[in-house]
Structure 1
């Protein structure tokens, strides 16, 4: 693989990850001032202004991690970890549509548990390919862990 192809790969991973974030934002953004503002949230819920920068940073870190797994050998050699990566990225987008788009915190919690498992599997697998790639996924896993607790709490506060 040429040096140019490697760097082009990084750009592709960044575009894909930020694109996934954008797809989730289509469901999320209008509801921040709408439905989300009207529901009960715990006092430890972060300010709305925190989520955008955190997610942008995490999507960039995920892109770099996936690129680091891909770049030594390409897609064929990294098929399994990149398939896991694509799966968790799809689940990430789906969560936004279930929670914000459909206003279903209970179903979103069920989905985020699956997302957490997928992120964990991806992180563990990335460590096998590159310790740096694995560590780049750890903040995302931590954030999804926090988001899971927040999602559960919002669901319970607004049940029935």
Structure 2
């Protein structure tokens, strides 16, 4: 059974949710959503600061035939960041804080790693180091998905497109690195 089935849903009593401090009020729900969005925006901003000319740099690199066009990355990351923020909020609201503290910490770790990749790959042009970093990111995302799944299948599923894209991006990073060295 999905553990989300036993979690709080709006309109349920705190006793059904299993904690006196639970369910969260609408204000704390809104605060949780805002914090989730702000964390994702911080990761995105870190990457975008060093990626001001990423599209032209990306287009100038020798790429494998299966590499996507540079214009695709913006829309893909917009959707992924929305899913990433929603997954953390969904997990946070599904369980009391004490139960989700460790998965949320893992989530923050993978966001930090997410924010580091673009400065390495585009800013510093350290494609090999960026590949090592994206492998660490992929592992961190996988561990986060597993940790989220223990508390909410929905929150974990919301991260699966991100995990798939990260695996794809790692393959692309390796190919671009090899083709441009």
TM over 0.5: yes
Matched, 1:104 2:126: yes
Distance between the aligned counterparts of 1:16 and 1:83, measured in 2? 12
The answer to whether the 8 A contact 1:127-1:133 is kept is yes
Aligned length: 158
Tell me the CA shift for residue 12 of structure 1. Answer: 1.9
Q: Is the 8 A contact 1:75 1:82 kept in 2?
A: no
Q: How does 1:3-152 map to 2 (within 5 A)?
A: 3-33=26-56, 35-152=57-174
**Larger radius of gyration, structure 1 or 2?**
2
How many angstroms does 1:102 deviate by? Answer: 0.4
> TM-score, length-normalised on structure 2?
0.83
Matched residue SS, 2:105: helix
Using the alignment, how far apart are the partners of 2:122 and 2:96 within structure 1? 36
Shift of 1:73: 4.1
Moved over 3 A (4+): 72-76
User: TM-score, normalised to structure 1's length?
Assistant: 0.93
For 2:66 and 2:96, the matched residues in 1 are separated by 42
In terms of mean alpha carbon deviation, does 100-109 or 74-83 score higher?
74-83
Q: Any gaps of 5 or more consecutive residues in structure 2?
A: 1-23
Unpaired segments ≥5 residues, structure 1:
none
User: How many angstroms does 1:74 deviate by?
Assistant: 4.7
- Whether the 8 Å CA contact 1:27–1:96 is kept in 2: the answer is yes
**Residue 2 (1) aligns with residue 25 (2):** yes
CA root-mean-square deviation: 1.3
What's the secondary structure of 1:103's corresponding residue? coil
- 1-structure distance, mates of 2:168, 2:91: 26
Query: Residues 47-94 of structure 1: CA distance to partner in whole angstroms, max 9, x if unpaired?
Result: 111101111111110111111111244543311101110000000111
